[in-house]
Amino acid sequence: MFVFILCCICQFSMQYKDFVNSPKSDSIFIGLIRGNYRISDFKNDPVVLWLWRSNSNNPEVDSLLKKIHLRKNFHLSAVLRWEAKEADDYETKSNKLYLAAQFDSSAIENFLSFISLGLKHRDPKPIITAFSLPVFSDFRNQLFIITNMVILLFAVVFMAGITYIVVKLTYYLPALSHRTRPRKHSQINDLIKSLILLIPILVLRNFYIIYICYSILLILILNNREKNWLRLNIIALLLIFILSLPINNFVAFLRQNNNSYQLYEVVNYDSFCNLETDDNKELLAYGLKQHGKLEEALSLYEDLYYQGNRNIAVVNNLANIYFLYDEPALAESLYHLAVITNDYGEPYFNLGLLKLKNIEYAKYSRYMEGARKRNFSSLSKEPIDIKPENRDFYRIIFSEKLKFNGITRSIYVLPIFLILILTFLPIKLSPPFYCTSCGRPVCKDCLQQIDEEIICKNCFAKFKSTKKKEIEEDLRRSVRKSRKRVKNLILYALNIIIPGAGLIYLKKHFTGMIIVCFVMTGYIPVFFPQIFVKPSGWITLPFFSIFFFIAIIIAILSYITSFSLIRRHNAN
C-alpha cells in the first residue's frame, strides 16, 4: 500500500513534482523545520502545504488545505481516503474524508465512504453529505455504475438459470437415473446411477460446468413448458452478453488502460500525461488549457477552427485564449460568432469581461445580463471555457474497437448457444416417468396399468394382493400421503436454501423465477464481490455491511412471500 501512496503523491500535479525537485523546496522545508517560517505563511500554497503535510503529520495543515480552492485531484483524494480508512476514531475519519471530498468532490469512492461512515456510526450527517456530492453526473462514475449493473444483471440471470436447473434436476434425477443404462429397474441400481450423474456437481463444483452438463441432460426429459423457461434463460444470457461488449471498453477505461481514460484525466483532473491524438483534439486542447499549456492549446484550437470545426466550445475557448494573449479584436469577433450561432451563456459572460477590460461599462452590463438570461453566472475574473460533456466521452468510448473478451470470454458463450439449438431438436425420453401412486421412477418395461392409471410394480403387487375395495383405497391413501411428505420435505429444503426455488419445484415457474432473481440481486454482491469491477486506485472505507444489510432485507421479504405462496398452494 505504501508503494501505491508514494505513486499517488508522485502523480500530484506537475507543479508539485517541479517544486519538490527544485532547491526552493529544500530551503522552505528547512525553514519550516527550524521554525523560521510558520506553515500558516503558506496558507495559499497547496504545494507547500502538501509537502509539509506528507513530512510532518501536522493537523493544522489539513485545516489550511480545507480553506483553499484546488483543481480536482484524484490522487490526493485517494491518499486522504486511505488515511481515513487507517484512522482509529470517528472524528479523524470524518475530517479526512471531508478533505478528500474537497479534493475530488465527484469520486464515487468518497460517496460510498461517506455512506459507510454514516451507517457504521449511525450518523445521518455523512449520508446527507454523500448525496449532496455531484457523483452521478460524472462520466467515470456513470461508467462504473453501468458496468457493475450489467455485471450484476448477468450474474443474476445466470444464477437464476443455475437455480432452475438444479431444482429441475432434483425433480427429474430419479427418472433420469432409472432410464440410463444398464436398466435393472431396481432402487439400489437407480441410487448408484444417480450418484454417477451427480459427479459434476460433487467433484467440480463449478457453476458454469453445472449449467452446461445438466442443461444438456435435462433437455432429454423436460416438457415443452419447462424447456421454454430454459430457452428464455439462455436467450437472456446471450442478449446480455451482446449488450456487455461495449462494457469491455468501459472496463478498460475504469482500469485506466486506454486512451480515453487519459483524455478524461487530462480534462477533469490535476494530473497530466503526454498524449498524442489526432481524433480527439478538442478534448486534448481543453485539457492542455486547464493545465496552463496555452501555447499548445492555442495551436490545437486554431487547427480545429481552420479545419472547419466551429462548434461553440471551439469558438468560445479559442476566443478565451486570444483574450488571455491580449488580442481583443480576434477574441471579440469569435465571441460574436459564438453568440450568433448558439444560445450559451458563457460567450456572453466572456464578452462582458472583455468589455469590462476595455472600460465599456454599458456594454459590459448588457452582455452580463445576456449571460444571466441564459442561466449562466460566475464570479470568475477570467474568461470561462466550455467544458467537454459526457456525451463527448461516450462518443469516444463507443468509437473504440469492440473487445470480445472482457467481463465474459466469448468462448464460454458458445456452448450455451449450442444448448439453445439442442433444445429445438426432437430428442426426448418418452413419458411416463413416475408412478402416479408412490412417485417411484418407472419406465416402459416396469410399469403396470390399472384402468387408465400408471403405477409401479410394487404398488401393483400391493394393491392387487387385497381383495377388498376399501382396503385398497386405504392403502392408496397412505402411499399417497407418504409421497406427499417426501415431496414437501424436498420442497421446503429447496426453498430454505434459495427462496423461490420451492415454487419452481411446484412448477410455479413465473413467480418462482421472479423471486429467485430478486433474491440473487441481494446475494450476489455479498457472496461474489470479486466479480464486480473496481476502478484503478480504488480506496474506500469498507462498505460490505451496506450490501449485507440490503441482502438480509431482500432475503426476509423473499422468504415471507415464497413460503406463504407455498402454503397457499398446499392448502388448495
Residues at the contact surface with Zn ion, assessed by CB under 5 A: 185, 435, 437-438, 440, 443, 446, 455-456, 459
CB of 460 to Zn ion, least distance (A): 8
Q: 366 or 476, CB closer to Zn ion? A: 476
Q: 276 or 451, CB closer to Zn ion? A: 451
Q: 169 or 435, CB closer to Zn ion? A: 435
d(CA 32, CA 147): 47
Instruction: Provide the Cα torsion 414, 418, 419, 423; round to 10°.
Output: 150
Q: Check: CB of residue 247 under 8 Å from CB of residue 407.
A: yes
Q: 70 or 475, CB closer to Zn ion? A: 475
Q: Check: CB of residue 254 under 8 Å from CB of residue 143.
A: yes
Between helix 410-423 and helix 224-243 the angle, nearest 10°, is 150
CB of 190 to Zn ion, least distance (A): 9
Cα–Cα distance list, 239 to 154, 230, 516, 521 (Å): 10, 14, 20, 19
CB of 164 to Zn ion, least distance (A): 27
Q: 297 or 456, CB closer to Zn ion? A: 456
Q: Closest by alpha carbon to 209, among 501, 412, 505? A: 412
C-alpha cell of residue 149? 449493473
Contact partners, residue 540, CB within 8 Å, separation at least 6: 81, 85, 109, 112, 113, 116
Q: Closest by alpha carbon to 324, among 292, 346, 347, 360? A: 292
Q: 476 or 508, CB closer to Zn ion? A: 476
CB of 166 to Zn ion, least distance (A): 25
CB of 551 to Zn ion, least distance (A): 42
Contact partners, residue 175, CB within 8 Å, separation at least 6: 221, 429, 433, 434, 441
CB of 177 to Zn ion, least distance (A): 11
CB of 251 to Zn ion, least distance (A): 52
CB of 445 to Zn ion, least distance (A): 5
Cα–Cα distance list, 565 to 226, 488, 499, 519, 572 (Å): 20, 14, 11, 16, 11
Q: 235 or 443, CB closer to Zn ion? A: 443
CB of 172 to Zn ion, least distance (A): 15
C-alpha cell of residue 469? 375395495
CB of 181 to Zn ion, least distance (A): 12
Q: Distance between alpha carbon 211 and the CA centroid of its chain, in Å?
A: 24
Q: 461 or 553, CB closer to Zn ion? A: 461
Q: 185 or 255, CB closer to Zn ion? A: 185
C-alpha cell of residue 435? 408412478
Q: 91 or 452, CB closer to Zn ion? A: 452
Q: Closest by alpha carbon to 152, among 479, 401, 522, 484? A: 522
d(CA 126, CA 124): 6
Question: 387 — phi, psi (to 5°)?
Answer: -80, 145
Q: 371 or 456, CB closer to Zn ion? A: 456
d(CA 280, CA 72): 22
d(CA 111, CA 145): 13
CB of 470 to Zn ion, least distance (A): 20
CB of 458 to Zn ion, least distance (A): 5
Q: 15 or 448, CB closer to Zn ion? A: 448
Widest Cα–Cα separation across the chain: 119
Cα–Cα distance list, 319 to 278, 305, 337, 372, 456 (Å): 22, 11, 10, 20, 91
CB of 485 to Zn ion, least distance (A): 15
Q: 93 or 440, CB closer to Zn ion? A: 440
Residue at grid coordinates 431444482: 167
3-state secondary structure 467-507: CCHHHHHHHHHHHHHHHHHHHHHHHHHHHHHCCCHHHHHCC
